[in-house]
């Protein structure tokens, strides 16, 4: 039996961040919309009983229920043995928290909500991609990539010398972006980011989690 259960689909960006943390720390885990043997639909009363804000993921650990991805990742870091994904130095740890917050809000909104989701789950007539929305979103994606490009100059990871929670937050969205053909021109301008994505993909956790997604039909 898994130590923890992550409620959410395995293709979800934030679910994948939590999965990466579990793999990096060696935490046994399961993933899916099943809770105690029963499927729970997003937006249902049963799901809102787990998270009144009606968002995935939710972590189940014994009798405990926890939502919000960054809070989940920090909990897993403190509650389980394994490699430290939060530096012990106050200043470096604060920088990881800074990046986690920025990635979970500003980067997620720009890259995932406004750009990638329009390409993957288009809402135009007859399910067509709304190209005007994609063009409108692209400059902010480029701005976020430029920030990351600068941060990654001469670095293997976003903060410090090793993989941290910040990298777990960054990896899924950048992996999806790099694999999306329309984003090729955006990624070409960010060679440090491209190299960073490849490093994360090559880790055992990346090989397990950053795989081709299976989207619902």
Q: In this model, does residue 2 exceed pLDDT 90?
A: no
Compute CA distances 92 → 27, 69, 76, 99, whole Å.
24, 20, 19, 11
Q: Which tokens belong to 116?
A: 């990638």
Domains and CATH numbers, the chain: 4-79 (3.40.30.10), 90-209 (1.20.1050.10)
Kindly indicate the confidence band of residue 126, based on its pLDDT and cuts at 50, 70 and 90: confident
The answer to whether 12 and 156 are in contact (CB under 8 A) is no
CB-based contacts of 95, cutoff 8 Å, min separation 6: 159, 160, 166
Between CA 199 and CA 184 the distance in angstroms is 18
Go through the chain and tell me how many residues it has: 217
Q: pLDDT averaged over the chain?
A: 95
Nearest CA to 60 among 114, 127, 6? 6
- Model confidence band, residue 216 (pLDDT cutoffs 50, 70, 90): low
- pLDDT of 13-63, one tens digit each? 999 999 999 999 999 999 999 998 999 999 999 999 999 999 999 999 999
Q: What is the pLDDT of residue 123?
A: 86
Distance, in Å, from the CA atom of 93 to the CA atom of 70, rounded to the nearest integer, reads 13
């Amino acid at each position: 039996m898994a130590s923890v259960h992550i409620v959410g689909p395995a293709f979800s960006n934030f679910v994948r961040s939590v999965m990466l943390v579990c793999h990096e720390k060696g935490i046994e885990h399961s993933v899916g919309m099943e809770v105690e043997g029963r499927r729970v639909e997003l937006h249902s009363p049963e799901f809102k009983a787990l998270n009144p804000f009606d968002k995935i993921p939710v972590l189940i650990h014994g009798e405990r229920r926890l939502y919000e991805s960054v809070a989940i990742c920090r909990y897993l870091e403190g509650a389980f043995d394994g490699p430290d994904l939060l530096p012990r130095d106050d200043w470096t740890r604060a920088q990881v928290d800074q990046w986690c917050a920025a990635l979970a809000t500003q980067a997620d909104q720009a890259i995932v909500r406004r750009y990638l989701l329009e390409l993957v789950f288009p809402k135009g007539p007859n399910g067509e991609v709304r190209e005007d929305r994609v063009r409108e979103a692209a400059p902010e994606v480029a701005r976020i990539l430029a920030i990351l490009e600068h941060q990654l100059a001469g670095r293997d990871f976003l903060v410090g010398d090793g993989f941290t929670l910040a990298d777990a937050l960054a990896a899924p969205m950048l992996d999806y972006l790099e694999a999306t053909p329309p984003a090729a021109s955006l990624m070409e301008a960010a060679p440090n980011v491209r190299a960073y994505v490849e490093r994360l993909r090559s880790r055992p956790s990346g090989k397990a989690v950053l795989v081709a997604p299976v989207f619902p039909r």
